[in-house]
A and B are shown apart, each in its own frame.
Chain A
């Protein structure tokens, strides 16, 4: 791995961690008045996939989308302002944490209904196929999505039409407080099941950013070579509660021991240790990275907190479009 790539992966993971922990620290003040689903502990998947994608590739996600949006290149100030419900937010305050969009970065939207953006991502890929471009449509989702009917429908159509879709499944073992064992039959392999639908699928360690990046790069190369949709299942673990800023290992659905085991496999600490050991990064470089991230965060939180709220009249704007959005269509996006 080149030092530049290694630094970029570490930087993106540290940046996502800092944002999520920054949200968690400020959330109890009550100024972020919407549900937040944090990705602390799951940074490696977003960072690895994000760096393997091109800016011209498109991505969609679900309710736990901060990391995906940031890793795809979405604007941090616009995301934080959105979580604060401000007019300067990426949805002008209409969406909040669960609805993020930054089309300039190819992040086409995240929504709050589990599996809701899966067919949307497949539809984007249908547009790509008709346009004859080599873009990829990346669909970030969790393990509960493969329980939804619309996932089976969408994956089947992607396979039928051999569409350029990259499914990225973050399997963090829980859907809210429900463990996999109450949702999926014992012994099921998500990757094997999806392969059976006609979408080649592999599983990997979602806390190993090198492996995430390499697996994603291979899958994307297959897609661009005309290999049709690919599915990646990454095992990982969210550290904080399903929704909100706290830790919830004491409420009974999972154990402190399990959490500590996963925390031992912190994707950032382990990657940083590997890089340091192999001389790919120095302590001074890490310190610089931390400073850069801290400054970006302070500025972005300040922007969000100081931005104005929309007026009450804003509640009834943009219900209907009066014209097709005049901005650049995704079809026009090229490297």
Chain B
């Protein structure tokens, strides 16, 4: 067990996978450049050689299809997009080929490929460098979608993704890359499709995804001495969703608040609330709720992004509201950090 950053944990997973399986290859724009995709691919080319670790042409669609062909040949490609937004150029190969191959050819062969997509936020990333379109990918039968929030799960879910026989979209939030946590050594895998109880509690179920797990835990910690006992479920996997974990938590608490880093309409949060309402309405003591990004592109300006993101104060305020308590001065007690557009004051840009 060592304390690693989220980015180091990803690097460790890649080293682990590439060491134990010579079929694992790793590519994407900037993979072997001096920045090494926020440090996640550092040292890989020296260790595993240029055939298995390489930069690529700015050809997202073909390079996805090339990964599919390589996977069909028996390799396990890991492709990385430095922003999810860039992966939109590859939707044809991802949706029409990767997701469908096993099904449409009657199970003849599957596509064991991992596609890492980095989610941007803040520092003026703006309309086309900060979209979280996780719901798009989760909507496609044939794709699996995971979104870790801790270094341990970053490693464990990446290893599970690489060794899964299906195409897996691995979403990593830029604001988590420098977070730290204990990470076990070796081939430790977090199963895909399993949520994690990040904090046990009996009053309300907060379903959090990706970076919002951090905000949820912050809110829960604030609420605890005020007599509110939150259960925080880190969803981890957006397809398949761990319905039994969600349902059993809601049966216990009778309340559900979903935090989704995407836009509200057509969101994963919407799907979770729909199924809970359809199948467990009788257990609910108040209406389900969600906190999401607004149904709008994200602006670039420092000024215009003030108050835009879901923060611990918003979560705590919503929880108190759902429990029938007066939220009072919670937002002033849990203000949006300053500056609001970075994961911490140490972050000096550019991306």
In the assembled complex, the Cα of A160 lies from the Cα of B55 at a distance in Å of 12
Quick one: which of A124, A318, A322 contacts B69, CB cutoff 8 A? A124
Size band of the interface chain A makes with B: 35 or more
Chain A residues with CB under 8 A of B102: 318-321
Contacts A103-B109, A116-B92, A318-B107; A126 near B69 (Cβ below 8 A):
yes
B210 to chain A minimum Cβ distance, whole angstroms, is 23
Chain B residues with CB under 8 A of A111: 96-97, 104
Chain A residues with CB under 8 A of B65: 116-120, 122-123, 150, 154
In the assembled complex, the Cα of A332 lies from the Cα of B101 at a distance in Å of 21
Instruction: Closest A residue to B58 by CB, please name it.
Output: A153
A244 at the interface (CB under 8 A from B): no
A175 to chain B minimum Cβ distance, whole angstroms, is 17
1/0 per position for A101-142, CB-CB distance to B under 8 A? 101000011010100111111111111111100000100000
In the assembled complex, the Cα of A150 lies from the Cα of B105 at a distance in Å of 22
User: CB distance B96 to A113 under 8 Å?
Assistant: yes
A322 to chain B minimum Cβ distance, whole angstroms, is 7
1/0 per position for B190-214, CB-CB distance to A under 8 A? 0000000000000000000000000
A89 at the interface (CB under 8 A from B): yes
In the assembled complex, the Cα of A109 lies from the Cα of B103 at a distance in Å of 12
B140 to chain A minimum Cβ distance, whole angstroms, is 10
Chain B residues with CB under 8 A of A331: 73-74
A195 to chain B minimum Cβ distance, whole angstroms, is 19
A225 at the interface (CB under 8 A from B): no
Chain A residues with CB under 8 A of B92: 113, 116, 150
User: CB distance B61 to A94 under 8 Å?
Assistant: no
Chain A residues with CB under 8 A of B93: 116, 119, 150
A91 at the interface (CB under 8 A from B): yes
Q: Taking each of B64, B101, B106, B142, which has the highest tally of chain A beta carbons within 10 Å of its own beta carbon? A: B106
Chain B residues with CB under 8 A of A318: 102-103, 106-107
Quick one: which of B59, B73, B141, B166 contacts A127, CB cutoff 8 A? B73
Chain A residues with CB under 8 A of B105: 90-91, 94-95, 99, 101, 109
Instruction: Closest A residue to B27 by CB, please name it.
Output: A126
Instruction: Closest A residue to B112 by CB, please name it.
Output: A324
User: CB distance B72 to A124 under 8 Å?
Assistant: yes
Chain B residues with CB under 8 A of A323: 165
Instruction: Closest A residue to B66 by CB, please name it.
Output: A123
State which residues 65-117 of A face B: CB under 8 Å: 89-95, 99, 101, 103, 108-109, 111, 113, 116-117
In the assembled complex, the Cα of A123 lies from the Cα of B59 at a distance in Å of 13
User: CB distance A157 to B63 under 8 Å?
Assistant: yes
Chain B residues with CB under 8 A of A137: 69
B120 at the interface (CB under 8 A from A): no
User: CB distance A119 to B73 under 8 Å?
Assistant: no
User: CB distance A127 to B74 under 8 Å?
Assistant: yes
In the assembled complex, the Cα of A324 lies from the Cα of B141 at a distance in Å of 18
In the assembled complex, the Cα of A281 lies from the Cα of B28 at a distance in Å of 55
Instruction: Closest B residue to A156 by CB, please name it.
Output: B57
Chain A residues with CB under 8 A of B68: 119-120, 123
Chain B residues with CB under 8 A of A157: 56-57, 59, 62-63, 66
Quick one: which of B51, B56, B67, B109 contacts A123, CB cutoff 8 A? B67
B304 at the interface (CB under 8 A from A): no
Number of A-B contacts (CB under 8 A): 160
B188 at the interface (CB under 8 A from A): no
Chain A residues with CB under 8 A of B25: 130
Chain A residues with CB under 8 A of B73: 123-124, 126-128, 131, 329-331
Instruction: Closest A residue to B51 by CB, please name it.
Output: A130
In the assembled complex, the Cα of A27 lies from the Cα of B295 at a distance in Å of 49
A316 to chain B minimum Cβ distance, whole angstroms, is 9
User: CB distance B97 to A120 under 8 Å?
Assistant: yes
User: CB distance B165 to A123 under 8 Å?
Assistant: no
B71 at the interface (CB under 8 A from A): yes
State which residues 276-335 of A face B: CB under 8 Å: 317-325, 329-331
A186 at the interface (CB under 8 A from B): no
Quick one: which of A91, A130, A330 contacts B104, CB cutoff 8 A? A91
A185 at the interface (CB under 8 A from B): no
Q: Taking each of B59, B69, B165, which has the highest tally of chain A beta carbons within 10 Å of its own beta carbon? A: B69
User: CB distance B64 to A119 under 8 Å?
Assistant: yes
In the assembled complex, the Cα of A153 lies from the Cα of B59 at a distance in Å of 6
Chain A residues with CB under 8 A of B109: 103, 325
State which residues 91-122 of B face A: CB under 8 Å: 92-93, 96-97, 101-110, 112
A187 at the interface (CB under 8 A from B): no
B144 at the interface (CB under 8 A from A): yes
Chain B residues with CB under 8 A of A95: 104-106
B237 to chain A minimum Cβ distance, whole angstroms, is 13
Chain B residues with CB under 8 A of A89: 106
B204 to chain A minimum Cβ distance, whole angstroms, is 33
In the assembled complex, the Cα of A29 lies from the Cα of B142 at a distance in Å of 34
A99 to chain B minimum Cβ distance, whole angstroms, is 5
A30 at the interface (CB under 8 A from B): no
Instruction: Closest A residue to B89 by CB, please name it.
Output: A149
Chain B residues with CB under 8 A of A325: 107-110, 165
Instruction: Closest A residue to B100 by CB, please name it.
Output: A111
In the assembled complex, the Cα of A322 lies from the Cα of B163 at a distance in Å of 11
Chain A residues with CB under 8 A of B63: 119, 153, 157
Given contacts A157-B66, A321-B166, 11 further A-B contacts (CB under 8 A): A109-B105, A116-B96, A119-B68, A120-B69, A120-B72, A123-B69, A123-B71, A124-B72, A127-B69, A129-B51, A330-B74
| 9 A-B pairs with least C-beta separation | A123-B69, A119-B65, A127-B73, A153-B62, A153-B59, A321-B110, A92-B106, A123-B66, A321-B165
